[in-house]
Amino acid sequence: MGEMKPDPVECHSGYEYAERPLAIHWEGERLEIEAIEDRWRIPGGKCFRVRVRDGRRFELFYGELYDEWRVNLL
């Protein structure tokens, strides 16, 4: 059996899932999100542009249909 990988994004969920991302798992590191610079919805998902503590910026996409996250370094 394969080892389970953690979800690439840790998020706060209140009345719905993935309300606000808190941390990203990227290249073996856990990076805490310092700021959410932008957020928007698209058909089938939620998008966030975030900055982590070391200044790198990422775009996050949560696909509701398949319940999966995608993370891209900007």
Q: pLDDT tens digits, residue range 13-63?
A: 888 888 899 999 999 999 999 999 999 999 999 999 999 999 999 999 999
Buried b (16+ CB within 10 A) or exposed e, 21-53: bebbbeeeeebebeeeeeeeeeeebbebbbbbe
The predicted model scores a pTM of 0.87
Domain count, the chain: 1
Residue 19 inside a domain? The answer is yes
Residue 32 inside a domain? The answer is yes
Residue 67 inside a domain? The answer is yes
Provide the residue range defining the domain that includes 24. 9-73
Residue predicted with more confidence, 1 or 5: 5
